[in-house]
Amino acid sequence: MLGTDFHPPSRQCYPNPNAQGALVIPEGNLRLPLPLGPKYGGRGYPLERYPALQLRIARTLTMPPCIYNHSRLPNFSQPESCLPMPFPVLIALAIILLYVLNSIKILKEYERAVVFRLGRVRHDASGPGVILVFRPIDQIVRVSLRQEAMEVPSQDIITRDNVTLKVNAVITMRVVDPVKAVIEVSNYVYQTSQFAQTTLRSVLGEVDLDELLAHRDRLNQRIQTIIDGHTAPFGLKVVSVEVKQVDMPENMLRAMAKQAEAERERRAKIIHAEGEFNAAAKLVDAAALMATQPMTLQLRYLQTLTEIGVEKNTTIVFPLPLELINLFNKTVAAPAIPPTVAPKD
């Protein structure tokens, strides 16, 4: 304990000459002159009455020289240092702050992060939102969950009927399991492209050209099912596959054009023959009907003359009675009577 016979060490707190009532520690008698005024009478009080103040003064004597002002009395419950924060501490705090700020990663709604901690992947993908990645302990791989369209390059295909074609396609896919897409394969886009090329050649090589052109939807569904079976183990879903373009040789195009032209001619001839057949059947029915009523033939004759007279032409029509025509027909149709020979006596 500090008493009146306490002699402080050589390191002392020097008073502030500009402040009234500053802390003074004399060599022989430790007293604390409080701020001068009529209330205190300018007297000092022995320190042994104040144990907390004794501890405060003992700590102060071990510090570098400092100045206490009477306008701000020290807090005896907590130690206080007069020195500013050292420069190396400031640098360390700044480095820690920058490290924490650099560890903050923001993921968009369509992104997921696969985090590797000390080389081991976490069970679930992180995101979206704010995550903390403490490098070099943690490593992050960003994976997009949006659909991606990939074009399959043109493939040389020989169909079942030995026709050489160049066919390309478009594949739509998306990632459903980011962890598997990162761990199971090195590049899921490249691997899906290779699967698509081989599947396109194998499937289209098993069909004829006519089937390829006529049933393209069914072939697209079959290719999608096969590719999806290959990509499912590494967390990829093939949404759709569409055969984009079919390129054929020039001679095949000309042959197909001739085939189409011949088919059109065949259909035209059949339609024309069917029309003639139907017209002949109707004419037979009309002739049978007119034979029962001779007057209908006369009316048809007069209608034809009317149609001819309406048009502007130089045709001269001589009406001929139908009775003469009928008489002529009967004369021609009558059988010839052979001459009679007189019998000989």
What pLDDT, in 10s, does the model give residues 293-319?
777 777 777 777 777 766 666 666 666
Task: Identify whether the C-beta of residue 44 lies closer than 8 Å to the C-beta of residue 76.
Answer: no
Tens of pLDDT along the chain (345 residues) come to: 444 444 444 444 444 444 444 444 444 444 444 443 444 444 444 555 556 665 566 555 555 444 444 444 444 444 444 456 688 888 999 999 999 999 999 999 999 999 999 889 887 888 888 988 888 899 999 999 999 999 999 988 888 888 889 999 999 999 999 999 999 898 999 999 999 999 999 999 899 888 888 889 999 999 999 999 999 999 999 999 999 888 888 888 888 888 889 999 999 999 999 999 999 999 888 888 877 877 777 777 777 777 776 666 666 666 666 667 777 777 776 655 555 555 555
**What tokens does 16 get?**
């502030």
The C-alpha R_g of the chain, in whole angstroms, comes to: 58
Q: Please tell me whether the overall predicted TM-score, pTM, comes out greater than 0.75 for this model.
A: no
In whole angstroms, what is the distance from residue 279 CA to residue 125 CA? 79
8 CB contacts (<8 Å, ≥6 apart)?
25, 27, 30, 61
| pLDDT for position 17 | 43
Q: Which of 182, 224, 178 is nearest to 200 (CA)?
A: 224
Q: Which of 334, 264, 14 is nearest to 23 (CA)?
A: 14
What letters, b where the CB count within 10 A reaches 16 and e where it falls short, cover 99-109? eeeeeebebee
| pLDDT for position 286 | 83
Element spanning 173, H or E? strand 164-175
In whole angstroms, what is the distance from residue 250 CA to residue 164 CA? 11
How many CB atoms lie under 10 A from the CB of residue 239? 13
| pLDDT for position 22 | 42
Which tens digit of pLDDT belongs to each residue from 180-219? 999 989 899 999 999 999 999 999 989 988 888 888 999 9
Give just the sign of the alpha carbon dihedral 255, 260, 263, 268. Answer: negative
| pLDDT for position 1 | 42
